[in-house]
Structure 1
Amino acid sequence: MPGELKGGRLMLAAFILALSNFMVVLDMTIANVSVPHITGSLAVSSSQGTWVITSYAVAEAICVPLTGWLAGRFGAVRIFLISLIGFTVFSILCGLSTSLAMLVICRIGQGLFGGPIMPLTQTLLMRIFPPEKHSQAMGMWAMTTVVGPILGPILGGSISDNWSWHWIFFINIPVGIACAIGTMRLLRSAETPILKLKIDSIGLALLVLWIGALQLMLDLGHERDWFSNSFICSLAVITVVGFVVFMIWEFTEKHPVVDVKIFRYRGFSIATMSLAFAFAAFFGSIVLIPQWLQINMGYTATWAGYLTATMGFGSLTMSPIVAKLATKYDPRALSSFGLIVLGLVTLMRAFWSNEADFFTLALPQMIQGFAVPFFFIPLSNIALGAVRPDEIASAAGLMNFIRTMAGAIGASIAVTIWDDHAKLARSEIVSTMHVQPTQQNLINHGMSPETALGMISNLVDKEALTLSVNHVFLIFAMLFIFAGLIIWLCPKPKGSVGAGHAH
């Protein structure tokens, strides 16, 4: 029975659950700064390297809505243990990968097993702690969720520079094994009742079909010249038709895999749409910045990680403050403020140059850290406060699914636009340049004609990549501001929702 754990055993069980959550959250961002190392090692382009991030996110997104059914059908502790073992095995396989195809397949496996871990750690913490301690338990859980993305880039950068990128996956092995052993020893008494639940197998198949087709289209479209390629056109048709059929099926199904009826609440729909736009821009930025820093600015993976992580201080400081503010002020105003600040910060990045120093690049990151809790916490409260209490679990699962999918799509689109616009910017720079006098000047300073031309070409490439990254940030700034404005279409929230569900 829940509540059997006391004293030191209870704290150890809570630590194991928090550590498991931390490991999965860390893996969302640990690969971000390592992409240039991975692409260099496997001899693939930067847009192909992004598949390592998006494949994990998409697989995780598909598994999140299934977690409730899996836990009900087989028991929460049993599924949690299987997920931990599967995640650890696929972490080993990711580290042993010798090709991009193998790495992406293993990242999908990692995401499928990692998906249920995050919601199940919440469920099990609520079961082992008495009701009066739930808020402290959720506070500890939320801390690991916030700290994971901050430490991810630092650890990923340091490991890639000092050892090799394979070790960003191998470090999960001791953590995964320790958490699995701890779960077997301590959490058996917290097992949930097993019920004979029906699975919406057709809905699940349609979900996998249209999401898989969409992500393949986004990942391969750039390589295959988009809609001039018949395979990309076929994927687009499968995505659209699959999505429409999926929505109709889920709306009429008695036990849907994704409860789309929750979209009938205007507050939930608008808040989730705002969150999707904002998270696409947010995640796209945190994938793009480390790559640009390493390819263009000569940063090591470690220093790219430090710069990316500078937003952590603000996030940690503001999260508890915003949670308190959300109980006193209109959450629409708080989230709108946070999103517009994020838009203005992203606009600062749209004027970056190749001469920018560390502080110039870190300042927007620091301000962003303070703004992130303002959009995350109130938006979650608006969305979950709009639904009936018995629908909160389904709504939270659906919201997490949409957020994770939006992040994967944002990352794919960001890298594609960056690459495409860089080619356009390069041709525009070349068309206005007078190469001959510059080359002659360099030859006069002792360079060979070939070296001089190579140097000019490198400078043009660097300038084109920076102009292109500025272009992406301009689009993202508009997305943030749009997300901050549409939130006012929500009705004013009547009640509030527990912080545990909001996360």
Structure 2
Amino acid sequence: MENSPLSQPSTATPAPSSAPPPAPPPPMHGGQLVLATFAVALATFMNVLDTSIANVAIPTIAGDLGVSVDEGTWVITVFAAANAVSIPLTGWLTQRIGQIRLFVGAILMFVLASWLCGIAPNLIVLLGARVLQGAVAGPLIPLSQSILLGSYPKEKSSMALSLWAMTATVGPIAGPALGGWITDSYSWSWIFFINIPVGLFAAGATWMLYRHRETPVRKPPIDVVGLALLIAWVAPLQIMLDKGKDLDWFASPVIVTLAITALVAFAFFLVWELTERDPVIDLRLFGQRNFLGGTIAISVAYAVFFGNLVLLPQWMQEYLNYRSVDAGLVTAPLGVFAVVLAPIMGRVLPRTDARMIATLAFIGFAVVFFMRSKYVIEVDTFHLVLPTLLQGIPMALFFVPLTAIILAGQPPHRIPAAAGLSNFVRVFCGAIGTSIATNEWNNRTVLHHVRLTEVANADNPVFRQQMQSTQSLLHIGNPSANALFDFTVNTQAAMMGLNDIFYISAVIFLVIIPLIWITRPVKGGKSDAGGAH
């Protein structure tokens, strides 16, 4: 078979002369479908929960293991790097192992890795277990989408995606609050141990219900070069994004080396995968208009959303003196409307153009971020919670229609590859968005600090008079008055810098709306996301 350009069908699919893939098993019904949905969704929830639950426990983990907090952050970094490498391999692994065996096996390995994390006696063992955990977690989200779509009738595909989105959005939101509560009340080991009963139930129920619905298995050649190049650019890029701020970005030789390595490896990876007969990742999916537009739209939006989701609790803890648990509880209402509106979305989407719903979601995000751009340092809890609660509305309108657009028209045997690749791009953009958001918040804070202190010097009589009044009023000396002034300026500068990020985020959501409209019209019940046209 000759090499194909980007716009041609994937050579990873059977050749035209091959026998067509067998018909997929019939949809499930009744109690069997309810239990199947719960089991698959539970595995998804366990996975996405673990991406954020460890974040608030890093200081405690570092202290217990006798390492610095900076070294402790590798617990997050290595998981993200391993996860980023494994997600796009989902389609290729599914062909070799089978969809159900891969899904159940990944859950069981995730349980094992969680147990190893919980009993880790030192940082080296913990990092090794987290690498394993991140690697086996990769196929869980794209396969959960594919399995749910195959379990529901085509006309109910939007309901399947709605239920999946509900668990996928609630997990990262509940993670910080749950992680903080477990760490404060029990031990950090239990943030990993709680996965064991959840994972065992999900794996057992899934195998019981789906073992006779396994997908066909074929043995495509192992694209060793493509896999090596994937690891060679994804791993250093993920590490660069996670450690860039700590190492002062490109002022550090380590970051420069990582960036060059990732760039060169990525260039070779593109050339190799687009000319390889059986690529490990089917990049030709980007030749489809809906996959291209939908993936870019959901990834950019997720980058902005997730970057802000990281900044908000960090700001509350550093400048508003919120405990980690309280900061997590303030962000938790984000999941309220996501849960309430999920079944409604499942009914509305089949009768509505998915592009219109996604557009409303982006407008909703813009409104929420504009509300946050008006924060002041005296903001109370109500005004912190209100935009977070309202943000759940566009969250409910966000994942489902864009996922329907991305998977529209994909035959069943290509859904794992399409879902895996789109999820990989989305998750990776989330990491990029987090790095950009934190870096720009720091830059904007420094800028506002400079502007606020331009006239605050001993040569300014107004400044001298104000400092004297402060000393007299509070009965403190000059050093204490200067320290108080510096604290006030730092707090105000951070608030102004964060408001800038919120405002820019609102603008970005409005600017990327045209990405939605480069795709073809899709209605949830007629997109045929689970079958070929």
TM-score between both structures, scaled by the size of structure 2: 0.80
Q: Does 2:72 align with 1:44? A: no
- 1:483 aligned partner: 512
Secondary structure of residue in 2 paired with 1:257 = coil
Instruction: Provide closer, same or farther for how the CA distance between residues 467 and 51 of structure 1 changes in structure 2, counting only shifts above 3 A.
Output: farther
- 2:383 aligned partner: 360
- 2:469 aligned partner: 441
Indicate the larger mover: 476-485 or 49-58.
Answer: 49-58
Aligned with residue 463 of structure 1, among 484, 492, 496: 492
Please, what is the CA RMSD of the aligned residues?
3.7
Provide the rounded CA distance (Å) in 1 between the counterparts of 2:268 and 2:428.
19
Instruction: Provide closer, same or farther for how the CA distance between residues 367 and 53 of structure 1 changes in structure 2, counting only shifts above 3 A.
Output: farther
- Aligned letter for 2:471? I
- 2:8 aligned partner: none
- 1:61 aligned partner: 84
Q: Does 2:426 align with 1:426? A: no
Provide the rounded CA distance (Å) in 2 between the counterparts of 1:28 and 1:147.
12
Provide the rounded CA distance (Å) in 2 between the counterparts of 1:452 and 1:99.
44
Aligned with residue 369 of structure 1, among 378, 386, 392: 392
Secondary structure of residue in 2 paired with 1:454 = helix
Instruction: Provide closer, same or farther for how the CA distance between residues 54 and 374 of structure 1 changes in structure 2, counting only shifts above 3 A.
Output: farther
Aligned with residue 306 of structure 1, among 297, 305, 329: 329
Instruction: Provide closer, same or farther for how the CA distance between residues 35 and 351 of structure 1 changes in structure 2, counting only shifts above 3 A.
Output: farther
The answer to whether the 8 Å contact 1:50/1:412 transfers is no
The answer to whether the 8 Å contact 1:154/1:302 transfers is yes
- Aligned letter for 1:87? F
- Aligned letter for 2:425? I
- 2:292 aligned partner: 269
The answer to whether the 8 Å contact 1:199/1:257 transfers is yes
- Aligned letter for 1:44? V
Aligned with residue 290 of structure 1, among 306, 309, 313: 313
Instruction: Give unpaired runs (5+ residues) of structure 2.
Output: 1-23, 458-462
- 1:70 aligned partner: 93
- 2:249 aligned partner: 226
Instruction: Give unpaired runs (5+ residues) of structure 1.
Output: none
Give the percent of matched residue pairs that are identical in Structure 1 and Structure 2. Answer: 41
Provide the rounded CA distance (Å) in 1 between the counterparts of 2:402 and 2:176.
26
Offset, 1:55: 4.5
Secondary structure of residue in 2 paired with 1:431 = coil
Provide the rounded CA distance (Å) in 2 between the counterparts of 1:441 and 1:227.
44
Q: Does 2:495 align with 1:472? A: no
The answer to whether the 8 Å contact 1:86/1:110 transfers is yes
The answer to whether the 8 Å contact 2:223/2:279 transfers is yes
Q: Does 2:481 align with 1:452? A: yes
Provide the rounded CA distance (Å) in 2 between the counterparts of 1:368 and 1:168.
27
* Equivalences for residues 200-279 of structure 1 within 5 A: 200-279=223-302
Provide the rounded CA distance (Å) in 2 between the counterparts of 1:126 and 1:266.
21
Instruction: Provide closer, same or farther for how the CA distance between residues 102 and 298 of structure 1 changes in structure 2, counting only shifts above 3 A.
Output: farther
- 2:3 aligned partner: none
Provide the rounded CA distance (Å) in 2 between the counterparts of 1:477 and 1:99.
43
* Equivalences for residues 14-413 of structure 1 within 5 A: 15-34=38-57, 43-44=68-69, 52-53=75-76, 55-95=78-118, 106-123=129-146, 141-180=164-203, 189=212, 191-192=214-215, 194-385=217-408, 391-413=414-436
Provide the rounded CA distance (Å) in 1 between the counterparts of 2:362 and 2:29.
42
Instruction: Provide closer, same or farther for how the CA distance between residues 438 and 409 of structure 1 changes in structure 2, counting only shifts above 3 A.
Output: same
Provide the rounded CA distance (Å) in 1 between the counterparts of 2:514 and 2:152.
40
- 2:10 aligned partner: none
The answer to whether the 8 Å contact 1:161/1:301 transfers is no
- 1:497 aligned partner: 527
The answer to whether the 8 Å contact 1:271/1:490 transfers is yes
Offset, 1:97: 6.1
- What do residues 233-280 of structure 1 show as CA deviations (whole Å, max 9, x unaligned)? 332222222222211211111222221112122332122111111010
Indicate the larger mover: 98-107 or 267-276.
Answer: 98-107
Secondary structure of residue in 2 paired with 1:198 = coil
Provide the rounded CA distance (Å) in 2 between the counterparts of 1:416 and 1:133.
43
Secondary structure of residue in 2 paired with 1:489 = coil
The answer to whether the 8 Å contact 1:138/1:499 transfers is no
